[in-house]
Amino acid sequence: MVQEKGTISIHTENIFPIIKKFLYSDHEIFLRELVSNAVDATQKIKRLSSLGQYNKELGDLTVDVSFDEKAKTITVSDKGIGMTADEIKKYINQIAFSGATEFMEKFKEAKDANEIIGRFGLGFYSAFMVADKVEIQTLSYQEGAEPARWVCDGSTEFEITEGNKTERGTDVILYINSENEEFLNKWKLQEILDKYCKFLPVPIKFGTKTEHEEDGVDEKGEKKWKDVEVDNIINTTNPIWTKQPSELTDEDYLKFYRELYPMSEEPLFWIHLNVDYPFHLTGVLYFPKIKNEFEIQKNKIKLFSRQVFITDEVKDIVPEFLMLLHGVIDSPDIPLNVSRSFLQADSNVKKIASYITRKVADKLNELFRKDRNAYEEKWKDIGLFVKYGMITEEKFYEKAKDFVLLVNTKSEHYTLEEYNAKVKDFQTGKNGTTVYLYTTDAEKQHSYVQAANKKEYDVLVMDAPLDNHFMQQLEMKLEKISFKRVDADVIDKLIEKDDAQKHDLTEDESKKLKEIFERAINNPTMKVEVESLSSESLPVTITMEEWMRRMKDMARMGGGGMGFYGSLPDSYKVAVNGNHKLVTKMLQSDEAHATQLAKQVFDLALLSQGMLKGADLTSFIERSVNVVTE
Ligand SMILES: Nc1ncnc2c1ncn2[C@@H]1O[C@H](COP(=O)(O)OP(=O)(O)OP(=O)(O)O)[C@@H](O)[C@H]1O
């Protein structure tokens, strides 16, 4: 007997075709929505029971997901609070959005199904993305409630009749349409449940699975096994982020990490997030080992809302540099279903981002203070992360400046403050700027590093692509320091002091020398200059000005607006040591011999820079052999 027929109050005839069509790409979330509703209903009955407002047995509260390939149905059953016919009318029929007109207007901007579903309270209706007909069989927990049945065939017509349920709870039965039969598949459903429902707080059963069980011993005394069918519970109801850190061991955290990222290396350490005010957020963030930039995988953080998986695109919620971390964040306070631009402006999201940034900085600081040696050992893996954070987040910079480390060619680690104290006295030039010398490749730039060390200068290793930006950041922030690569100039000019040496050459001699070299090198991008270096320094040194090289490096890395520098030819300075005895010899030789000597020492300088290649290298070798045999 039909009790009631009616029209779902959305005033627009064909809302379902719109839902179906528009939400095409995200079809699978219908299951997330229905299972979440079932879990909500279950938690409500638990709460009523604990408040003493429901006094009957709760019984087994497992939510059951099943499908029938022949009947082409998927059923989600719960033993939650159920609904009366009136409640169905109230909650299901009057779709919780303020009107079809608004929906019609807004859906145009919406970018994905999540947005529409959440914003308009269409969770339940997402069932129509995959089903032609949806049936609800339900019995409310309330004393004397009658079972009710609701059926809707995807038009705006519905029907409420007497239901057949004899126990408290709700069954939602989807009659899957022909385009969506792929969902009538065990593996497909299992996959969707794994993705969205793996950590829901109520057990979810999906069929059964076979397990091996010990079955006594045989005649020989060996263990016997038997296969038993057990419920296939697809979720862990108390994932670690819902627990207190004090209840957890390191092994628990590692186990959870392995569960989330089965193929990954062990994380370095982790942070347990737990805040109640001014927003709710729990989670565990792991620091993965990051060896180099190419390995970075973003979007590894999974975002949950009350244990329901929402997305692993956490951009806009956590600051960019924190996306290098792995783990989970769970917050009901993140507006999940709004557009990205709205998200960025949301004050809760901003607070959450700065909370996480602070927590991460505090954790690093704690590791640094507690066990400096261990921290230094891990620096290789966390350095990139810390520097990235300092470059991109002002707030993080302020905290991290106390625990970021600089590493020199002797593998010694220094904080910014320690390093400044170490080099200030020796490496401050006459203009008052302290020069931090660095190498990007201690092997290749070996002769320069050695020259610096001879002068008792310290040399840092800055070999990550990010270091360019990092140094620039430090130059801006720290007063009166500048970074110079060891081959940015001849050693005496890298850090200019008052006691600069003079060479004994006359102006004419200098000019002549310059000409000899220019002729020998015959390359306009090599600018020859006669310098007064110590007589033990090499006769010729090739350098590239710091500023120019950095611009070129950035252009190479694709730095915005730097393309112009990339297109300039490399320009080097060829510093001829006016105090070297070879110079005197050259000035006294005939032109041909002088040119040959100039060529030879220039090639030697190129060689020490790793710049001598191809035909030039061959002719250098031939020339050298001749010199030796002469
Ligand atoms: N399995 C169920 N048991 C009891 N009540 C249910 C069940 N499923 C849905 N309802 C009722 O129907 C209402 C509407 O559900 P729907 O999924 O459309 O929206 P919602 O769950 O309130 O919001 P959203 O899905 O956007 O988070 C629910 O709030 C609940 O009152």
- Centre of ligand 1 to C-alpha 38, Å, is 8
- Confirm whether residue 33 is marked as ligand binding: yes
Separation CA 399–CA 505 (nearest Å): 53
Q: Residue 438 belongs to a domain with what CATH number?
A: 3.40.50.11260
Encode pLDDT of 376-401 as tens digits.
999 988 898 899 999 989 999 999 99
Task: Decide if pLDDT at 334 tops 80.
Answer: no
Structural domain contains residue 229: no
pLDDT confidence of residue 98: 39
Which domain does 354 fall in, by range? Answer: 240-380
Tell whether 372 and 413 lie within a shared domain. Answer: no
User: What mean pLDDT is predicted for residues 557-578?
Assistant: 73
Residue 433's SS3 state is coil
Compute the distance from residue 137 Cα to the ligand 1 centre, in Å. 14
* 170 marked as binding residue: yes
Higher per-residue pLDDT: 446 or 564? 446
Name which of 202-216, 221-235, 561-575 the model is least confident about.
561-575
Whose CA is closest to atom 23 on ligand 1?
A: 121
Q: CATH number for the domain including 159?
A: 3.30.565.10
Cα(148) to centroid of ligand 1, in Å?
16
Work out the average pLDDT over 323-352. Answer: 77
Q: Rounded mean pLDDT of 358-385?
A: 93
pLDDT at 365 over 80: yes
Q: Which residue has the tokens 């379902």?
A: 16
Residues 568-588: what's their mean pLDDT? 86
* Cβ atoms of residues 284 and 310 within 8 Å: no
pLDDT greater than 70 at residue 297: no
The more confidently predicted of residues 427 and 8 is: 427
CATH number at residue 572: 1.20.120.790
Cis peptide before 278 (omega within 30 of 0): yes
> In terms of domains, do 473 and 526 share one?
no
To the question of whether residue 340 is assigned a binding role by annotation, the answer is yes
Size of the chain in residues? 630
Q: Could you tell me which residue, 312 or 559, shows the higher pLDDT? A: 312
The string of pLDDT tens digits covering residues 46-72 is 999 999 999 999 999 999 999 999 999
Q: For residue 92, what pLDDT band results from cuts at 50, 70 and 90?
A: confident
What was the pLDDT predicted at 97? 40
Taking residues 194-203, report their average pLDDT: 94
CATH of the domain at 312: 3.30.230.80
Average pLDDT of span 563-578: 77
Going by CA atoms, what residue is nearest to atom 1 of ligand 1?
38
What ipTM goes with this model? 0.97
| Whether residue 183 sits in one domain with residue 101 | yes
Q: Which atom of ligand 1 is nearest to the CA of 120?
A: 26
Strands 434-439 and 413-415: unpaired
Confidence check: pLDDT of 15 > 70: no
- Rounded average pLDDT over 6-31: 62
**Percentage of the chain lying above the pLDDT 70 cut:** 86
Task: Choose between 43 and 119: higher pLDDT.
Answer: 43
d(CA 306, CA 474): 41
Give 26's pLDDT tier (boundaries 50, 70, 90). confident
pLDDT at 524: 87
Residues 169 and 34 in one domain: yes
Q: Looking at residues 173-190, what average pLDDT do you find?
A: 96
- The stretch 244-265 carries a mean pLDDT of 91
- 214 marked among binding-site residues: no
| Residue from 242, 275, 269 nearest 352 by CA | 275
What is the whole-number distance in angstroms between the Cα of residue 123 and the centre of ligand 1?
7
Q: Residues 484, 580: one domain?
A: no
CA distance 507 to 223: 99
Task: Answer whether residue 1 shows pLDDT above 80.
Answer: no
Task: Check: CB of residue 31 under 8 Å from CB of residue 308.
Answer: no
H/E run at residue 175: strand 169-176
Q: How far is the CA of 37 from the centre of ligand 1 (A)?
A: 5
Q: Check whether residue 99 and residue 31 sit in a common domain.
A: yes
Segments in 60-185 forming alpha helices (H):
85-87, 100-106, 113-119
Name the residue at shortest CA distance from atom 22 of ligand 1.
121
d(CA 84, CA 91): 10
Q: Which residue CA neighbors atom 7 of ligand 1 most closely?
A: 37
What is the Cα–Cα distance from 107 to 111, expressed in whole angstroms?
A: 8
Does 207 belong to an annotated binding site? no
Does 483 lie in the same domain as 376? no
Q: Among the listed ranges 184-198, 224-238, 365-379, 558-572, which one has the minimum average pLDDT value? A: 558-572
Pocket test for ligand 1, best of 88, 89, 90, 124 (most atoms within 8 A of CB): 124
Q: How far is the CA of 282 from the centre of ligand 1 (A)?
A: 24
Let me know whether 272 and 185 are in one domain: no
CA distances from 373 to 95, 228, 251, 407, 436 (A): 60, 52, 23, 13, 24
- Domain boundary among the residues 364, 380, 396 is at 380
pLDDT at 569 over 80: no
Q: Going by CA atoms, what residue is nearest to atom 26 of ligand 1?
A: 121
99 marked among binding-site residues: yes
Mean pLDDT along residues 414-441: 94
Tell whether 514 and 490 lie within a shared domain.
no
**N-to-C CA span, the chain:** 118
169 pLDDT more than 50: yes
Whether 598 maps to a domain, the answer reads yes
Tell whether 614 is in a known binding site.
no
Question: Does the structure show a pLDDT above 60 at 22?
Answer: no
Nearest CA to ligand 1 atom 15: 124
pLDDT at 163 over 70: yes
Better-scored residue on pLDDT, 372 or 322: 372
Taking only the tens place, the pLDDT of each residue in 524-541 is 889 999 988 878 888 899
How many angstroms does the Cα of residue 33 sit away from the middle of ligand 1? 9
Looking at every residue in the chain, the average pLDDT score rounds to 86
Residue 154 shares a structural domain with residue 73: yes
How confident is the model at residue 503, as a pLDDT? 72
Question: Residue 488 C-alpha to ligand 1 middle, in angstroms?
Answer: 68
Provide residues with CB under 6 Å of ligand 1: 33, 37-38, 41, 78, 80-81, 83, 91-92, 117-118, 121-124, 170
**Which of 64, 60, 61 lies closest to 44 in space, CA to CA?**
61
Same domain for 84 and 7? yes
7 carries a ligand binding annotation: no
Evaluate whether residue 235 is within a structural domain. Answer: no
Number of structural domains, the chain? 4
